[in-house]
Amino acid sequence: MTVGTRPKARRAASPAFRGVGSHTYVSGAASASLRPALESPRRPARVLAAFPLAVYLEVRSETEPHVITLVTGGAIRLPNAVVVGDLLDGIAAGDDGWVGDGVIEIGGLAIRVRRWWDPAPPLGSAALVRLSRSAGLLGEVRRRSPRQPGLDPAGAPSLLDTGCRTGSLTDAITAAERLIGLGPGLTPSGDDMLSGLLVALRHLGGATGTPRAVWLADWLAAAVTYDARTRTTPISATLLHCAAKGETSPEVTGVLRAVAGRQPLEPATHRLLHLGHTSGADIAWGIQIGLSAVLSHAVHSNGEPS
């Protein structure tokens, strides 16, 4: 999922920023998933990519998340994001920086975290009958959308769907391992599908009291994150680690809330489908696979939905 569309040229920092000493200081609101990285002692970092609305910063660390996304209010608020209030001017790929002690420094810019937000807000309880009704509408909206996934339904996606619905760890993990890093882009299609699946299993499984779905999420999360750094892009590997813990963007959370009956499903799904070129469609597909698995395991455990 790319939140910018073209490299950002270097230019002077925005006059809206307040300069102090040798740095220009701004305040930011950070995902709670970044608290360990930001509150640790300062460590070196490097800019992986810079766009008009987002900058991807890799922290030299063995812990996750090791990529931090700096975004403005108009960008996608990824679960590893720090939101700032102005354009990210004067930053380019390859720039060096520092992260820690509550501050992110890149060149002459210093972002101090003043607020935190939750990338995995609790969904609350949800009735199985509501999820069952939502499954059909979610599929219909996906089919009608001009935004289609970047993967062929046959092969690994089909095996993933079957493995999750039947509870076959062998099939589900085999399919997941095939999907890691599959497809082009900063976040390949296979990774986007797995991210949608992981958050759906964890949140919808917990909301419906379906422990088998959460158990499946735990196993898949372990398999997907085991060697993600060597199998896909650094940005996508970080987002997979976030998804493994149920952390995601507001667009994905909106669809989960809609599936549970908290808000209208069709507009929430359309917002998700319009993310990136295929990212939104791939994530929505993963959510649908997870939703089908939750319903299947709930029925097998408790009988018909009620």
pLDDT at 131: 96
Answer yes or no: is 3 within a domain: no
Higher pLDDT: 92 or 7? It is 92
Structure token digits, residue 290 = 């997870």
Together in a domain, 154 and 256:
yes
Looking at 66, 94, 117, the residue that finishes a domain is 117
Please classify residue 162 by burial: count the beta carbons closer than 10 Å to its beta carbon, then call 0-12 exposed, 13-18 middle and 19+ buried: middle
- What is the SS3 assignment for 26? strand
Together in a domain, 134 and 282:
yes
Q: Is residue 6 over pLDDT 90?
A: no
Average pLDDT over residues 64-87: 89
Together in a domain, 132 and 81:
no
Looking at 88, 117, 146, the residue that finishes a domain is 117
What is the C-alpha separation between 191 and 189, in angstroms, rounded?
A: 5
Q: Is residue 7 over pLDDT 50?
A: no
Average pLDDT over residues 118-124: 95
What is the C-alpha separation between 193 and 151, in angstroms, rounded?
A: 9
What is the C-alpha separation between 252 and 194, in angstroms, rounded?
A: 13
Among 83-87, 115-119, 208-212, 274-278, the minimum mean pLDDT is found in 83-87
pLDDT at 60: 86
Together in a domain, 168 and 49:
no
Please write the tens of the pLDDT for every residue from 11-48.
333 333 444 456 788 999 999 999 999 999 999 999 99
Together in a domain, 107 and 174:
no
- pLDDT band for position 9 (50/70/90)? very low
Give me the percent of the chain exceeding a pLDDT of 70: 90
Average pLDDT over residues 262-266: 96
Together in a domain, 163 and 266:
yes
Answer yes or no: is 9 within a domain: no
Together in a domain, 289 and 196:
yes
Together in a domain, 157 and 38:
no
Print burial letters for 30-44: b (CB count within 10 Å at least 16), e (below 16): bbebbeebbeeeeee
Maximum CA extent, the chain: 66
pLDDT at 211: 96
Please write the tens of the pLDDT for every residue from 134-191.
999 999 999 999 988 999 899 999 999 999 999 999 999 999 999 999 998 889 999 9
Looking at 94, 117, 140, the residue that finishes a domain is 117
Q: What's the domain range around 238?
A: 128-302
Q: Is residue 264 over pLDDT 50?
A: yes
pLDDT at 280: 96
∠ CA(140), CA(153), CA(166), 5° rounding?
A: 85
Answer yes or no: is 263 within a domain: yes
Q: Is residue 302 over pLDDT 70?
A: no
Among 152-156, 251-255, 265-269, the minimum mean pLDDT is found in 152-156
DSSP state of 93: T
- What is the SS3 assignment for 273? helix
Answer yes or no: is 38 within a domain: yes
Of 8-17, 58-67, 194-203, give the range with the top mean pLDDT.
194-203
Answer yes or no: is 247 within a domain: yes
Together in a domain, 134 and 87:
no
Q: Is residue 5 over pLDDT 70?
A: no
Among 50-54, 194-198, 269-273, the minimum mean pLDDT is found in 50-54
Answer yes or no: is 1 within a domain: no
CA-to-CA separations, 278 to 30, 94, 150, 255, in angstroms, rounded: 26, 27, 6, 17
Together in a domain, 35 and 139:
no
The average confidence (pLDDT) of the chain is 89
Answer yes or no: is 10 within a domain: no
Return the axis-axis angle of helices 128-144 and 279-302, rounded to nearest 10°: 150
| Helix or strand (DSSP H, E) at 130 | helix 128-144
Together in a domain, 225 and 285:
yes
pLDDT at 305: 43
- pLDDT band for position 65 (50/70/90)? confident
Together in a domain, 202 and 287:
yes
Answer yes or no: is 103 within a domain: yes
pLDDT at 17: 41
Residue 84: count of CB within 10 angstroms of its CB = 22
∠ CA(152), CA(157), CA(75), 5° rounding?
A: 80
**Domain tally, the chain:** 2
